[in-house]
């Protein structure tokens, strides 16, 4: 097993430094990450600036976290794919990359690997595309879905941005979640020379999706690497974002297991492969649509209140966090001053008090939160509240469905209107 792990690590290094097509895919992914997370960080800065909270968001650090998580997850998933015998032709990898780039033009959500794999698998049945190993593609998609669920669960407490939206004609608070991972995956492929270049440790593995012979007549068997992208977007309206992340992670993991069963059956029953390809697309899309629609039908958790001011989020490292304030708390008063608006909070804290007591309503229980800040005092809590009225609300659908073609068309229309 150590020999296999070493071979996988060596193939990853080779792909990053010697495979020109792989490097080209990396450049496309880097450009995508840069453009996407710049917009996302601007939204974070706008939200935190409204709470008078200074936070630094580094695109470089974000990219480093994505790459580190991707390499770790990619190595673990590669151990599974090679052990399972996932075998793909080089042309299949190119097809997947072209499909991914095409889907990227329509919607960011479609950049997920299961969409490209499902489309290619279905096309191989409809148009009789040769040398497309559908069971291996379905297996790889199942592994990516389970990996997405695992990564989402691990990061369930981070990266949720508070936003405002209209719900049944009223302003309510919500949390927008976006995750993006770049996963390098090693798999088995056919080479030109006879024999096999697989490590000897691979010969003892079951490899249910592998070729019948490790030294088949078609040529040598070796290892190759591709980039799989995972993109997860969600919105939490009726529950805490951490709880929503756990539920979504469980759903993705369960769906990955179902798809893995279909992949195993498709080795012997051809039409199951087509059913798995359709499910790969429709199932992943159905999870995304159901997640958002189910939230919009339920009662919002962070709606505006008639008495007091509801806390939507408590920012990390803030004074509010130090005093024990929590999401959903309703601020009733500060130092015997009734609070109804954010301006009321600013008025209560404008003198930089060194000691404050804040009345909050948590559920059905009223609590007193005391806070001492000697000797400087403080003038901001570091919270985001839900106002009764607000001129600007974020259109959640715009953040869920961003595509390049729509942006180009809108920009063209603006240029035409400007000329007219």
Find the CATH number of the domain harbouring 353: 2.30.42.10
77 and 207 within one domain = yes
Question: Of the candidates 32, 38, 10, 51, which has an alpha carbon nearest to the alpha carbon of residue 311?
Answer: 51
Answer whether residue 391 is part of any domain: no
Is the pLDDT at 123 greater than 50? The verdict is yes
What pLDDT is recorded for position 53?
54
Q: Which of 267, 297, 327 lies at the terminal end of a domain, its last residue?
A: 297
Model confidence band, residue 266 (pLDDT cutoffs 50, 70, 90): very high
Rounded distance, CA 8 to CA 224, Å? 9
When comparing pLDDT for 403 and 86, which is higher? Answer: 86
pLDDT value at position 83? 86
- Who wins on pLDDT, 192 or 190? 190
**pTM, whole model, 2 decimals?**
0.84
Per-residue pLDDT reduced to its tens digit, 63-85: 677 778 888 999 999 999 988 88
Cis peptide before 375 (omega within 30 of 0): yes
Q: Is residue 394 part of a domain?
A: no
**Is there a single domain that holds both residue 45 and residue 190?**
yes
Does residue 29 lie within any of the structural domains? Answer: yes
Strand partners, 355: 372
Total domains in the chain come to: 2
| pLDDT surpassing 60 at residue 202 | no
Q: Are residues 83 and 168 in the same domain?
A: yes
* CA 39/CA 375 separation, integer angstroms: 39
Q: How many helices (H) and strands (E) does the chain have?
A: 12, 10
* Whether residue 325 sits in one domain with residue 265: no
Does 187 reside within a domain? yes
Question: Mean pLDDT lowest for which of 223-237, 262-276, 391-405?
Answer: 391-405
Domain identity same for 112 and 192:
yes
Alpha carbons 286 and 16: distance in angstroms, whole number: 34
Q: How many CB atoms lie within 10 A of CB 140?
A: 27
Is 392 part of any domain? no
Say what the pLDDT of residue 193 is.
54
Residue 289 confidence (pLDDT): 87
CB contact at 8 A, 145 and 259: yes
pLDDT of residue 105: 79
Looking at the fold, whether 350 and 268 belong to one and the same domain comes out as: no
Q: Is the pLDDT of residue 171 over 60?
A: yes
Whether residue 308 is found in the same domain as residue 285: no
Domain co-membership, 115 together with 248: yes
pLDDT range class, residue 256, cuts 50, 70, 90: very high
- Whether 411 is in a domain gets the answer no
Residue 195: per-residue pLDDT: 45
Residue where a domain stops, chosen among 239, 263, 297: 297
CB atoms within 10 A of CB 163: 22
Of the candidates 86, 84, 40, 95, the residue with the CA atom closest to the CA atom of residue 62: 40
- Assess whether 255 and 356 both reside in one domain: no
- Examine the fold and report which residue of 297, 317, 339 is the final residue of a domain before the chain moves on: 297
Instruction: Verify that 350 and 292 share a domain, yes or no.
Output: no
Query: Exposed (0-12), middle (13-18) or buried (19+): which is 61, by Cβ within 10 Å?
Result: exposed
Does some domain include residue 412?
Answer: no
Q: In the numeric block, which tokens belong to residue 287? A: 């999870």
Q: 297 burial class (0-12, 13-18, 19+ CB within 10 angstroms)?
A: exposed
Mean pLDDT calculated for residue range 102-119: 86
Report the pLDDT value the prediction gives residue 51, as an integer from 0 to 100. Answer: 55
Tell me, yes or no, whether 267 and 357 share the same domain.
Answer: no
Question: What pLDDT does residue 409 have?
Answer: 47
- pLDDT grade for 333, boundaries at 50, 70 and 90: very high
Average pLDDT value over all residues in the chain: 81
pLDDT in tens, 362-387: 988 999 998 888 888 888 888 888 88
Higher pLDDT, 170 or 204: 170
Range of the domain at 319: 304-386
Tokens of 227: 């980039």
| pLDDT greater than 80 at residue 58 | no
Look at residue 374 in the predicted model and tell me its pLDDT.
83
313 shares its domain with 292: no
Residue 408, in any domain of the structure: no
Residue 169 has pLDDT above 90, yes or no: no
């Amino acid at each position: 097993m150590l020999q296999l792990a070493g071979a996988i690590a060596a193939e990853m290094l080779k792909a990053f430094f010697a495979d020109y097509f792989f490097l080209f895919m990396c450049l496309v992914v880097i450009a995508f990450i840069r453009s996407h997370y710049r917009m996302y960080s601007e939204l974070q800065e706008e939200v935190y600036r409204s709470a008078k909270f200074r936070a630094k968001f580094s695109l470089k650090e974000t990219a480093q976290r994505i790459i580190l998580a991707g390499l770790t997850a990619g190595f673990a998933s590669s151990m599974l794919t090679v052990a399972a015998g996932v075998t793909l032709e080089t042309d299949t990898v190119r097809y997947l990359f072209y499909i991914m780039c095409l889907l990227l033009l329509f919607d960011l959500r479609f950049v997920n690997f299961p969409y490209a794999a499902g489309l290619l698998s279905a096309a191989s049945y409809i148009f009789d595309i040769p040398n497309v190993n559908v069971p291996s593609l379905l297996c790889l998609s199942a592994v990516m879905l389970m990996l997405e669920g695992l990564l989402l669960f691990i990061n369930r407490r981070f990266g949720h941005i508070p936003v405002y939206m209209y719900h049944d004609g009223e302003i309510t608070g919500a949390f927008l979640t976006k995750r993006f991972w770049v996963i390098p995956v090693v798999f088995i492929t056919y080479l030109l020379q006879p024999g096999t270049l697989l490590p000897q440790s691979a010969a003892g593995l079951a490899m249910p999706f592998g070729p019948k012979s490790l030294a088949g007549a078609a040529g040598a068997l070796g290892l190759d690497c591709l980039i799989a992208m995972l993109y997860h977007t969600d919105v939490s309206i009726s529950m805490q974002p951490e709880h929503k992340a756990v539920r979504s992670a469980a759903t993705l993991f369960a769906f990955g297991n179902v798809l893995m069963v279909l992949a195993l059956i498709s080795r012997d029953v051809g039409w199951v492969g087509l059913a798995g390809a359709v499910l790969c697309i429709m199932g992943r899309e159905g999870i995304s649509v159901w997640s958002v629609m189910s939230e919009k039908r339920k009662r919002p958790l962070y709606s505006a209140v008639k008495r007091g001011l509801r806390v939507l989020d408590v920012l990390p490292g803030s004074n509010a966090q130090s005093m024990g304030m929590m999401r959903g708390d309703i601020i009733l008063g500060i130092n015997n001053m009734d609070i109804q608006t954010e301006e009321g909070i600013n008025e209560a804290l404008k003198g930089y008090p060194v000691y404050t007591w804040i009345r909050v309503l948590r559920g059905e229980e009223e609590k007193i939160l005391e806070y001492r800040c000697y000797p400087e005092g403080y003038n901001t809590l570091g919270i985001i509240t839900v106002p009764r009225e607000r001129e600007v609300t974020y259109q959640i659908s715009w953040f869920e469905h961003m595509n390049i073609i729509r942006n180009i068309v809108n920009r063209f229309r603006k240029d035409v209107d400007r000329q007219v």
